[in-house]
Chains A and B, each alone.
Chain A
Amino acid sequence: MANTESLENVVLELRRGVIVLAALSQLGTAEYGYSLLKKLADLGLDVDQGTLYPLLRRLEAQGLLESVWKLEEARPRRYYVISTEGKKLLPKMKKEWAGIVSVMDKMLA
């Protein structure tokens, strides 16, 4: 029981670490919160909604995302898209990620 819980916590932490990179990489085209959540899930990354939505707001506050409200199907939706600042940062984050993967691969081999 304790082991399962510990594993869940570690997996959660690992995922949390990559959500910023995952979200920025998928927001080249505008998405609203729920559509991004589904997109990430379809690609195999299940993200807790309680983590993703506040994260999108924080990334916008940091200037890495831009957002706009659009009225669709009689419902307003907030669309997020990567900003110029975010576009500048993304390649650096990708490089950093590749470095981490390479190091961890070596460690875990």
Chain B
Amino acid sequence: MNLIDRYVAEVGKHLLLVKGRKDIENELRSTLEDMLEERAKSAGTPADEALQLEMLKEYGAPYSVAETYNPNPYLIGPRIFPFFIFILKIVLAAVALGLAIATVVQVISAPPMNAMELLSILGKGLLNIISAWIGAFGNLALIFALIERYAPASEFKVDDKKEWDPASLTKDPEPTEIKLWEPILAIVMTFIALSIFNFNPQLVGIYYLDKSEWHVLPLLSEAFFRWLPLMNIAWVAEIILNGMLLRTGKWTTSTRLFSIATKLFQVFIIAMLISGPSILAFTPESLKTGGITDPEAIQALSQLAHTGLKIALGLGIFGAVVEIIKSVYKMVTQK
């Protein structure tokens, strides 16, 4: 490997995320060889290492050269940065709210405690919020970095220069317009679900009082948590969708398509939950621990819970399918 090859490889290291890296490297090599040949010819000297060093020094540091080929050096560029900050604020607020609620529930449901124990729970709650904030920031930054790289620019145009038309105030709201609180509520609720199921799954259960102490009977089985990664994807998709809706303020073809895809994915997950092993953690043993000893009552309760869950999940699928049909219909009629 000669000096030019090493130099080109160094430049390439700074172009890992740039499209057409190999092509840029080949072109750079070809150019440098042309330059070297010409220099050697005009100086009447061989194209030796000294001449190569002189030429490469003039050409510039590899990272500076790479920089000129990178049209988008941002992890999250100005095109979507305001949107990122906007969603980040909502996400951080929702995470804080969700975990604050979880901490309060923990304090209420805990046995009587002294001040130090209370402070310890509150301190842990605060640490949980900070650590969840760091995680949420990282995840969101990753999602937006991917959007920055792969989403078409037309979907995230910065429309600062768009002329504002005062006449828009006199128009009746378009049927595609959405109410601001709807996506905000959806984002907050989704984040609460994300934080509870991922960070505090023990909170999901049936609470009962026994000898003046609160106990929790776990509601969900391992079978449920096996599907949690897919559910997380569906929830994150839901947050992105609602973020897009907040930004555009109305439904567009791309948000409708995105919504349909998200709902289809949700239908798939719910169908898997129905068809797989029961996601309820109720067993005769756990019910007995909960203080129910009558075998008939156990049988009836267990049956009721499992049937009830299947009906609820079935309604979930029905709701999602209705939403899909509505989206398709509106997309066709309002285009």
The one of B20, B35, B64, B65 that contacts A34, using a Cβ cutoff of 8 Å: B35
Q: Assess whether B268 is interfacial by the CB under 8 Å rule.
A: no
Q: Specify which chain B residues have a CB less than 8 angstroms from the CB of A54 in the assembled complex.
A: 68-69, 71
Q: Specify which chain B residues have a CB less than 8 angstroms from the CB of A69 in the assembled complex.
A: 26
Q: Number of B residues whose C-beta is below 8 Å from A?
A: 18
Contact B27 A33 (CB under 8 A): yes
Q: Specify which chain B residues have a CB less than 8 angstroms from the CB of A57 in the assembled complex.
A: 20, 24, 69
Docked CA distance A49–B64 (Å): 12
Query: Which of A2-10, A75-83, A91-99, A101-109 contacts the other chain?
Result: A75-83
Per-residue CB proximity of B11-54 to A under 8 Å, as 1/0?
A: 00000000010011011101101110000000000000000000
Q: Specify which chain B residues have a CB less than 8 angstroms from the CB of A49 in the assembled complex.
A: 31, 59
Q: Specify which chain A residues have a CB less than 8 angstroms from the CB of B24 in the assembled complex.
A: 57
Q: Assess whether B60 is interfacial by the CB under 8 Å rule.
A: yes
Q: Given known contacts A33-B27, A57-B20, A57-B24, is B65 in contact with A75 (CB within 8 Å)?
A: no
Docked CA distance A38–B208 (Å): 85
Label chain B's interface by main secondary structure: helix
Q: Given known contacts A57-B20, A57-B24, is B68 in contact with A75 (CB within 8 Å)?
A: no
A55 → B minimal CB distance (Å): 9
Contact A78 B27 (CB under 8 A): yes
Contact A34 B34 (CB under 8 A): yes
A20 → B minimal CB distance (Å): 15
The one of B23, B30, B59, B68 that contacts A32, using a Cβ cutoff of 8 Å: B30
B107 → A minimal CB distance (Å): 58
A37 → B minimal CB distance (Å): 8
Contact A50 B30 (CB under 8 A): no
Docked CA distance A77–B33 (Å): 10
B47 → A minimal CB distance (Å): 13
Q: Assess whether A58 is interfacial by the CB under 8 Å rule.
A: yes
A53 → B minimal CB distance (Å): 7
Q: Given known contacts A50-B64, A54-B69, A57-B24, is B31 in contact with A75 (CB within 8 Å)?
A: no
Contact B33 A51 (CB under 8 A): no
Contact B69 A34 (CB under 8 A): no
B132 → A minimal CB distance (Å): 41
Contact B71 A53 (CB under 8 A): no
Docked CA distance A53–B59 (Å): 12
Name the residue of chain B whose CB is nearest to the CB of A73.
B37
A63 → B minimal CB distance (Å): 15
Contact A50 B31 (CB under 8 A): no
- Cross-chain pairs A/B with CB under 8 angstroms, 14 sampled: A32-B30, A32-B31, A32-B34, A34-B34, A50-B64, A50-B68, A53-B27, A58-B71, A75-B33, A75-B34, A76-B26, A76-B30, A77-B34, A78-B26
Partner-A contacts on B (CB < 8 A): 20, 23-24, 26-28, 30-31, 33-35, 59-60, 64-65, 68-69, 71
- List the 5 shortest-distance A-B pairs measured between CB atoms, nearest first: A34-B34, A50-B68, A54-B68, A54-B69, A34-B31
